[in-house]
């Protein structure tokens, strides 16, 4: 990374790492759609197209909002593989999430609905899934707009003057981004109508629960002011529950 003076001259616009992150996000959606329909073995399934369209819209809306309001965050997120101080356990959890949520979930949904017909959910699940997905998008995007330290991996960002953020959704729960991501994971099988898809989706969500717990402990131990913030905002993900 360059000096802080060099970084300041580039704030306000996307640089190479940010554009690279956006292109990989678009490619990631494309890969998921390919996996979804390849597993289904057919393309005449409207709910799979609905899921594909909503996934693309979810990623696109989030990317545009953050690129306009906080492009430097995307630049920093695009550099995540170069961050040498990432917690070692977090890299393992990210890989596990990728297997479960990125690869296995679309494969199971496609196989369930297109080839095996193991399960089916009625139109009500589209409404519930869409509501959950929309709330997840709101929480993740809102968190990214107010938190300049919303990077890809868990680390204490001493190089970026890491400070506690207590504004926006962080005034309600300590990890709103994880809550939003879990809502998106659980909404995808509902939109598609696959009960079996909830298995890898739920397991991927559990990975985020583990990550939230471990990140919270690290922040309380290592980030000045976070322990006081945790006493004020008592709950990690769900008000009144955890």
Residue 8 has pLDDT above 50, yes or no: no
> pLDDT value at position 7?
39
| Cα 13 from Cα 220, distance rounded (Å) | 33
> pLDDT value at position 23?
94
| Cα 178 from Cα 4, distance rounded (Å) | 29
pTM over 0.85: yes
State which H helix or E strand residue 222 sits in: helix 198-222
pLDDT tens digits, residue range 161-217?
899 999 999 999 999 999 999 999 999 999 999 999 999 999 999 999 999 999 999
* Confidence class for position 11, pLDDT limits 50, 70, 90: low
By the 8 A CB rule, do 115 and 40 touch?
Answer: yes
By the 8 A CB rule, do 191 and 124 touch?
Answer: no
| Cα 39 from Cα 157, distance rounded (Å) | 40
pLDDT tens digits, residue range 96-145?
999 999 999 999 999 999 999 999 899 999 999 999 999 999 999 999 99
Q: Which CATH class is domain 4-232?
A: mainly alpha
List, in order, residues 6 or more apart from 233 with CB less than 8 Å away.
166, 170, 171, 172, 173, 174
Which structure tokens are listed for 146?
Answer: 């107010």
List, in order, residues 6 or more apart from 108 with CB less than 8 Å away.
39, 194, 196, 197, 199, 200
| Cα 161 from Cα 7, distance rounded (Å) | 13
Residue 1 has pLDDT above 60, yes or no: no
> pLDDT value at position 6?
37
Residue 2 has pLDDT above 50, yes or no: no
Domains of the chain by residue range:
4-232
Which structure tokens are listed for 103?
Answer: 């690869």
Angle of helix 16-40 relative to helix 46-69, nearest 10 degrees, comes to 170
Q: Which of 116, 235, 122, 228 is CA-nearest to residue 175?
A: 235
> pLDDT value at position 5?
32
As a whole number, the mean pLDDT across the chain is 92
Separation of CA 20 from chain center: 17
């Amino acid at each position: 990374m360059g000096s802080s003076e060099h970084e300041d001259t580039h704030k306000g616009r996307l640089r190479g790492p940010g554009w690279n992150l956006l292109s990989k996000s678009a490619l990631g959606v494309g890969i998921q759609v390919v996996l979804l329909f390849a597993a289904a073995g057919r393309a005449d399934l409207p709910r799979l197209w609905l899921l594909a369209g909503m996934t693309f819209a979810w990623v696109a809306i989030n990317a545009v909002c953050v690129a306009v309001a906080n492009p430097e965050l995307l630049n920093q997120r695009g550099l995540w593989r170069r961050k040498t101080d990432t917690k070692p356990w977090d890299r393992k959890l990210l890989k596990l999430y990728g297997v479960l949520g990125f690869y296995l979930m679309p494969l199971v949904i496609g196989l369930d609905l297109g080839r095996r017909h193991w399960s089916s959910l009625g139109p009500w699940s589209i409404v519930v899934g869409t509501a959950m997905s929309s709330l997840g998008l709101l929480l993740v995007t809102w968190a990214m707009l107010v938190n300049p330290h919303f990077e890809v991996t868990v680390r204490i960002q001493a190089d970026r003057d890491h400070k506690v953020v207590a504004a926006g959704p962080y005034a309600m729960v300590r990890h709103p981004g994880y809550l939003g991501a879990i809502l998106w994971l659980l909404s995808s099988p509902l939109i598609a109508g696959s009960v079996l898809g909830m298995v890898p989706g739920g397991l991927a969500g559990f990975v985020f629960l583990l990550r939230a717990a471990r990140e919270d402990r690290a922040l309380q131990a290592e980030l000045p002011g976070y322990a006081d913030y945790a006493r004020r905002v008592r709950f990690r993900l769900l008000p009144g529950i955890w």
